[in-house]
Chains A and B, each alone.
Chain A
Amino acid sequence: MAPSKTSMFRSADMSMVQLYISNEIGREVVNALGELGLVQFRDLNGDTSAFQRTFTQEIRRLDNVERQLRYFYGQMEKANIPLRKMDLDVDSLAPPTTNEIDELADRSQGLETRVHDLNESYETLKRREVELTEWRWVLREAGGFFDRAHGNVEEIRASTEDDDAPLLQDVEQHHSAPDVERSFSGMNIGFVAGVISRDRVAAFERILWRTLRGNLYMNQSEIPDALVDPTTNEAVNKNVFVIFAHGKEILAKIRKISESMGAEIYNVDENSDLRRDQIHEVNARLNDVQNVLRNTQQTLEAELTQIGQSLSAWMVLITKEKAAYQTLNLFSFDRQRRTLIAEGWCPTNDLALIRTTLQDVTNRAGLSVPSIINEIRTNKTPPTYLKTNKFTEAFQTIINAYGTATYQEVNPALPAIVTFPFLFAVMFGDLGHAIIMLCASLAMIYWERPLKKVTFELFAMIYYGRYIALVMAIFSVYTGLMYNDAFSKSLTLFDSQWEWKVPDGWKEGQALTGQLKSSYRYPFGLDWRWHGTENDLLFTNSYKMKMSIILGWAHMTYSLCFSYLNARHFKKPIDIWGNFIPGMIFFQSIFGYLVVCIIYKWSVDWNAIGKNPPGLLNMLIYMFLQPGELDEELYPGQAPLQVFLLLLAVVQVPILLFLKPFYLRWEHNRARAKGYHGIGENSRVSALDDEDENGHAGANGRPSGESDGGEGVTMIAQDHDDDDEGHGEFEFSEVMIHQVIHTIEFCLNCVSHTASYLRLWALSLAHQQLSVVLWDMTLGGTINKTGVIGVIMIVIGFYLWFFLSCAVLIAMEGCSAMLHSLRLQWVEAQSKYAEFAGHMFTPLSYATMLEEDEGLTDFRG
């Protein structure tokens, strides 16, 4: 574990670097570094607002292009045109050149105008079409009214004009048909015809009735097809109405009311010939409009389809370009504004890679001015960079969900790769369920690529943790074999160590007890003879409880050892002497002792020596309550040893409490006495290869004297994002309080955390009992039925059992076991050593950016 090598054990070494880049290639450099994804840039213009920065203009322009692209997307969605999505794993777009971006901007500008125009004319045409359609309906419907009305016109006339006309005249009048055509105007009855939306009809009618005091005759009919309003794109049901009324003023009033109610009024001729002509004309125009409309739509669709082919790629390009300019905005200029200066964190191991990338970009651009990368020394806390791969990613994520490890402290994810799934398996242990889970996780890994595209959230989550599931399943297979449980049944892999002691005259139904066969012991896992016995739980509970304590003790001891490694790595010997050693002694003298006792008690054949085995729980309790006294002895010399251990543990408490704070105070006072003062509150930085101080060029090989007239010695922007405040003054009271809290917490946690591991027993008991119950309630109850009913019942029973097994025992129980194991990892283990005071390394990386950008969700394949 060489410290310089990147491994999962600690977060990577980070360096603060300064980059001097010629102004012309700033964009290219940022693009190259963005593809590389290894540099986290610092903001050097913290005091300038977003609007005052250098490249705001470019970003605005790109924002506009992005808006246009989104507009196209909106149009495409409206027209139901499929979008060719970007598969980021397959196609990786090279960073665009400035020309390409300009071209793209122009093109999208042109396309926007075109699409906009097309849309506008389409809308106008559509409106025209709707109008014509409405008119046609009015003509048709109103014509119907007229035809019906004309049949009765004489009656109307007779009743209005000629009160005493003879009834017979009616017959004669019918023969003089031409007269009929002019009849309405002759009667001074006018009419208004139009269209109104159906839900307004009632109100419309009421208003008309009230304002005209009933002096109207209204006729209406429904248009069977809904008409689409082109502006809102909503289908509206409408009615045709024809209102007959007497007198010009009233008609004008009707018109006004109709307009205010949102009705469309159409001109309908009373004369049926004219009306026929009108209908013909309307039909012809409607045809024309429809033709033009179809053409327009086809053109628009063709245009959008073509855009759809490359829209995603454009979107990606624009997003990258915008990120590049946003990054450039973080940079600073030198005095002549010829060189860009950037600062950022990068992994020390990748410095060479970054340097060659810079070199490549400079060479490609054919610039004579080299780009310079300069490592600088700083007392700022570097970000935590934990490199992951496909397998470790999910494990790292569950640790990061709790917090970000301090820079270079032991990464809790490394042991968690095993301990987290293993503790899960201790709770989940069932061979059958484990194999189903194993198959599922293997399937997810085998079909990794196709399944990656599934966007269903719940599945995506399980898919993300597929490697965790795999390790969990493998360990569950093992623990299932250990517990000898497969779907609540047992396997008889080896000979049992028990045989039944059958007394003479034994009959079926009488109780039998087992006896040991010989010195042979069941070699692997739990003896199957225990399965289904009356005192099965008595035995397994004791076994599982003790196992929980032993596993918990091992887990916590192991975790506690990491605090030693941390102290050694950070060169804080006082943490070893003042925290680790007393803590370890305290923990071991109580719980280490308990574990030793458990194992010792197992190793003694109590029946052979004819003694009563003492209860360990009481032993531990009375070790505190009445030290020096014992009810039953576990081994000779137990009482004095326990008193000694108790004293040893008690003595650790003051050491834990006082050693570290007093040592720190002594160290501080000594430094003061020698005349040293605390480092200034501000972060102070000096270039690594400052020639004034060292007199020799650093290993970085910084070319001499290009553009660094005194620049680069100090960091630009000293006081932004200061994350390490409070480093300044030493305050004894603070340290003391901190240590008191730590001591109390540690001592209490030793007890409560050990108890907390009993959840391993509780959950595995619950899982096992639940699967027994499920078996008995479903398949177990049907399996001895015979005949046709038996067959049906077994089939039903099986499906019930199988699906409930999957849903309840694997999914739900698995989830609960996982949460408990997560807690053991987060709280019980990590509290022993991890500080979690780091901040995450977030490099400029196009790959992650494209993957995580919310705005790109629609464009990703």
Chain B
Amino acid sequence: MAQGYSVFIGLVIVAAMCVAAWFLSPKGENQTTWRSSLIIAFISCYLMWFVTFMAQLHPLIEPRRSDVRAEFAHE
């Protein structure tokens, strides 16, 4: 479902959203505000998701805990 190439899919989606935000922003005095805010918001959110995803793509350490109950160990 989510593999390494997902970041590019995400990028395409976010790019599409940015384009949509550029063209669909309501006209008038606040158009610039709408465009800038939406696009920066999309890019910021993508950046954070991208970082989170990439950090887990090839993890260097594994989770370790000693309080796992037997029922959940094989989940």
Give the interface of A toward B (CB within 8 A): 1, 5-9, 387, 389, 392, 414-415, 417-419, 422, 426, 475, 478-479, 482, 497-500, 502, 506, 508-516, 519-527, 529-530, 532-536, 538-539, 542-543, 546-547, 550-551, 554, 599, 602-608, 613
Contact = CB atoms under 8 A, between A and B. Distances in A.
Interface of B: 1-4, 6, 29-33, 36-37, 40-41, 44-45, 47-49, 51-70, 72-75
A418 B44 contact: yes
A508 B65 CA distance: 11
Given A417-B37, A419-B44, A546-B51, A521 B56 contact: yes
B63 A529 contact: yes
Contacts of B51: 543, 546-547, 550-551
A426 B48 contact: yes
A414 B35 CA distance: 10
A527 B55 CA distance: 11
B64 A514 contact: yes
Nearest to B2: A523
A165 to B, nearest CB: 111
Contacts of A605: 58
Contacts of A5: 29
A599 to B, nearest CB: 6
13 contacts: A417-B33, A422-B41, A426-B48, A497-B56, A500-B72, A506-B73, A510-B66, A511-B65, A520-B2, A521-B57, A523-B53, A525-B49, A602-B57
B45 A478 contact: yes
Contacts of A419: 40, 44
A499 B74 CA distance: 8
A1 B65 contact: no
Contacts of B41: 418, 422, 475
A498 B40 contact: no
Given A418-B40, A524-B49, A613-B60, 17 more contacts: A9-B36, A415-B36, A417-B40, A419-B44, A426-B48, A482-B48, A498-B62, A500-B72, A502-B73, A509-B66, A516-B59, A519-B3, A522-B2, A550-B51, A599-B54, A602-B55, A603-B58
Contact of A389 (B30, B58, B60): B30
Contacts of B75: 499-500
Contacts of B62: 498, 513-516
Nearest to B70: A508
Given A8-B30, A419-B40, A547 B48 contact: yes
B8 to A, nearest CB: 12
A414 B69 CA distance: 52
A514 B52 CA distance: 19
Nearest to A512: B68
A511 B64 contact: yes
Given A520-B3, A521-B6, A523-B2, A534 B32 contact: no
A645 to B, nearest CB: 22
Contact of A533 (B36, B65, B74): B65
Nearest to B68: A512
Please give me the 7 A-B residue pairs with the lowest Cβ-Cβ distance, nearest first: A523-B2, A7-B32, A418-B40, A511-B66, A602-B54, A533-B63, A514-B63
Given A511-B66, A543-B51, A603-B58, A521 B4 contact: yes
A7 B31 contact: yes
A508 B2 CA distance: 32
B2 A521 contact: yes
Contacts of B73: 500, 502, 506, 512
A768 to B, nearest CB: 14
A9 B30 CA distance: 10
A546 B55 contact: yes
B74 to A, nearest CB: 6
A546 B53 CA distance: 12
A265 B28 CA distance: 83
Given A498-B63, A547-B51, A417 B56 contact: no
A535 B63 contact: yes
Contacts of A526: 52, 56
Nearest to B48: A482
Nearest to B7: A603
A520 B40 CA distance: 29
Contacts of A608: 58
B74 A502 contact: yes
A542 B3 contact: no
A390 to B, nearest CB: 11
Contacts of B3: 519-521
Contacts of A554: 44, 47
B41 to A, nearest CB: 5
A604 B45 contact: no
Contacts of A551: 44, 47-48, 51
Contacts of A414: 32-33, 36-37
Given A514-B63, A536-B63, A603 B57 contact: yes
A4 to B, nearest CB: 13
A512 B52 contact: no
Contacts of A534: 64-66
A479 B45 CA distance: 8
Contacts of A479: 48
A478 B6 CA distance: 19
B49 A513 contact: no
Contacts of A519: 3-4
B64 A533 contact: yes
A1 B35 CA distance: 11
A392 B56 CA distance: 37
B6 A523 contact: yes
Given A511-B66, A534-B64, A539-B61, A6 B52 contact: no
B44 A422 contact: yes
Nearest to B54: A602
B54 to A, nearest CB: 4
A500 B33 contact: no
A418 B43 CA distance: 10
A512 B55 contact: no
Given A482-B49, A521-B4, A7 B65 contact: no
Given A419-B40, A419-B44, A522-B2, A512 B58 contact: no
B66 A525 contact: no
Given A7-B33, A512-B66, A602 B58 contact: yes
A607 B32 contact: no
Contacts of B49: 482, 524-525
Contacts of B30: 7-8, 389
A546 B33 CA distance: 30
A479 B6 CA distance: 19
B57 A417 contact: no
A615 to B, nearest CB: 11
Contacts of A475: 41, 44-45
